[in-house]
Chains A and B, each alone.
Chain A
Amino acid sequence: MLVFVILFPILTGLLIPHFAPGGRLPRFCLLIAAQIAEVCTVAAAVASGRTYTSDIWRLTESLTIALKLDGVAAVFILLTVISWLLTLLYSYEYMKHEHGHEANFYTFLFISEGMLLGTALSADFVSMYVFYELTSLCSMPLVLYERTRKAITGAVKYLYYSIGGAFFVLFGLAVLYDNTFTLDFLPGGTLIPGHHTQLVLAAIFCIILGFGTKAGMFPMHNWLPTAHPVAPAPASALLSGIITKAGVIGILRVIYFIAGADRLRGTWVQTVCLTLALFTVFMGSMMAFTEKNFKKRLAYSSISQISYVLTGLFVLSQEGLMGSLLQIAFHAAAKIALFYIAGILICLAGLRSVERFRGAARRLPVTFGCFIFAALSLVGIPPFGGFVSKWYIASAALDGLPGAFAYAAPAVLLLSALLTAGYLFPPIIRGFFPGDDLPPAPGGERLREPWQLTLPLILLAAACGLLGLFPDWITSVMQRIAGAVL
């Protein structure tokens, strides 16, 4: 069953874009149909509440590929398939404005989806490593779609950072192989107590650094600002929204399912990781504040926001984990929406830099309307979704962290929220209230906003709002999942 979930997108990606008959539209409809089927399958699997497992492959006695659907995996795969569906719809229209081999784009898009699902559904560390490497490899071509020199450089940088991170992980993996009862993911961890403790801690730290590369944690965040501006907007959206979360899920699995939160609480690993995560939160927001290119600004914003998630994870409490899971969901929704907006602004109005947003709201009202929702959610203003997640993370930090951290963490988070407001609100305001001295824009009237571009956007913005207004359902789900872990 799980094998099907992974295999179906891969096969779709390999076959349909190249071999489907007819023109662009029929091919596209087939793709959409396939994706809808995928979503339904996944939803059914999750809703059934069963824990599916499957052993796919036994490479050697120490290396196996196995899949399992548990609570954490369910969150990720649902997010993934839904985002993919929305992005697919968006990209139909968007890619009309791009020049390149569209078929290849969809191929790699779907294959990446399959690999990503594999990463989330992995039942043990080795399987996750395998799928993680393959995800990096298969998502790289998405970035270099435009084939300019800069795009290729960005893609290649992404690849090298990811592979480098994967090798950090491999180091830790090899050390842990001997020092755990099993490499399967079990809640509470599988470490053998008292065995080479310092080496094991160092290994875990390396793993966190390695996965943190994908999650944009300082000091390995550098690929994000280079890769995002050059990738086409749908790709950037998914990269920031979902693919970076592959790194997050890696860290999550290692901390809670291999090492065990109790084993790490109070160690230097926790301290250093918290420091790095908090620093990244601050640094990302700071860099976003000073950046003028909109997509790059969003990239830095992702760096910062994802480190919120990491902070929540490093608190090592149930509340923190819950907050992280919520933040993953809400950040995905908001960031994908923001990248859709960026894409619309580029392809419909040619606006890349924030300084030129003046008066743009008049021309793209729907877009800017959704911009407001997404921004509010990202900053963390109630009653939008982002507030809920950030609240839980901050309160978890306050409760669960020792000494100075307990106060430093919420302070940093607050500061970052202010900065976030600082880099998101001015463009909106400028868009709506351009000031009287603005010369009339050429063709300054309303632009046509195709529904394929705006519908996904509206859905996401609505989600941000609704789930913020009525958070109980989602919070209780996350709480249950977090409770099962700790």
Chain B
Amino acid sequence: MSFVQNFPFFSIILSLLCTVVSFILNGKWARRLTLFLLCAGTALQTCTLLFCCRGNIRYTYMMGHFAAPWGNELSIGILEASLALLFGVVMLLSVLGGSEHVATDVALPKQHLYWLMVDLTYVSLLLLCYTNDIFTGYVFIEISTIAACSLLAAKEVGRALIASVRYMIFALIGSGLFLIGVILTYSITGELLFPQLRTAVTALWEAGTYRFSMTVAIGLMTVGLSIKSGLFPFHFWLPDAHGQATAATSGILSGVIIKGYIVLLIKIIYQVVGIDIFRASGIQNILLIFGVGGMVVCSISAIGAPRLKTMVAFSSAAQVGYIFMGLGLGTHSALLAVLFQIFAHALTKPMLFLSSSSLMDASGGRQDFRSLWGAGHRYPMAGFTFTVGALSMVGIPLLAGFIPKLYFALAAFGMGWRTWVVLLALTVSTILNVMYFLYTTILIWLPGEERTHVHERVRPRMGTVCPAMLLAGLNLLVGIHSAALAALFTQGIDLFCQ
């Protein structure tokens, strides 16, 4: 066993350590610790990924000395490592970009707690990516919920607090449903680790016993995770939660946290239940319908959103719909598309939130569309990154957002009635995206001297601008060199789905 294989475990321990230490540090040092953690974590995941790629292997890792079924296991492979790497990078850039806003939005005595919660989020994401144990999965989705709520509530503005409470309620409902599902599964099968669960579930299904209970359990787990990731029609908490938070939090929430739940769901579908049983249970079609519904309804809501960040948040809900639509198709090519969507959205949405905050700063702190008129001229770099993000969301080729659209459409062919549902949903959703994203983009670039009261250009703050630019660059890179990523994912999927 090579040393590199320990790295995921090291990064988990390191994050837990940082969490504890941050408790006693002050805000400035806690922040530096978080940054250090994220950088280190990124480095560690990169090494793991390279290791897995080169060796084309996927392995399990036992934490502690207790064997299954009592001990805790990780399963590490190309997909898991690349997702963990993505989450780390995006969190790093979001945090870097949003630090200045955090400094202003969060009360000074509480800032170290904020960074503590970020560390906690990171550890839960790592575990969601790597875990091989369903109960651990439950534990850490609870932890991430608490962390997310705290991050949200850190901005002690009335709206943010309301949003955070609403989020907490929905999230706990979700977790509760998930827990019930887990308990049901455990009571039927008696297993907690994924491989064993898989064997047990398959055997039970083929035997024909407990089918109904099995379906209920799977359904509960799916619904629970769907609520937490903001699938239509459970997305009502999302716009305010993501819209009211400070920039870094929004980026983290939209970019990575909801993806973490989706990753867990993917693992459950493929490694616990098995794709065939999942399809046979009919839940897959439901995910497709709700995903499509989300794509359309959330985009329509985005058109009507009165504030910029709320609009961007609704867009997140719509993009989550894409992912569930892909999961609802259930083929390997659809899974490839889903992975691309996770990547593209994780790179784009934090950039959009960072730019939105900057544009708001350039408009006197207001985010209604009237005030944003011409904001791009007042803060060109933010305008530029916002434009790149908007174009990516709409799906212009050469940007990252085009690739998942392409792969979704390719995956749709030959699937009977689903083909046209998916194609039409993609078309309608693109048109709706244009209506609110390009409309906003045009708005910020119009000459606006007469309309708003803010005339001066804002001096660009490097701390906020550079991460956003980096994200834009990554966006372009993914858009152009998607072939390499596609190869990586394909390799990973083959290993993942055995």
Asked if A and B form a direct contact in the complex, defined as CB atoms under 8 angstroms apart, the reply is no
- Which residues from chain A sit less than 8 Å from chain B, CB to CB? none
- Which residues from chain B sit less than 8 Å from chain A, CB to CB? none
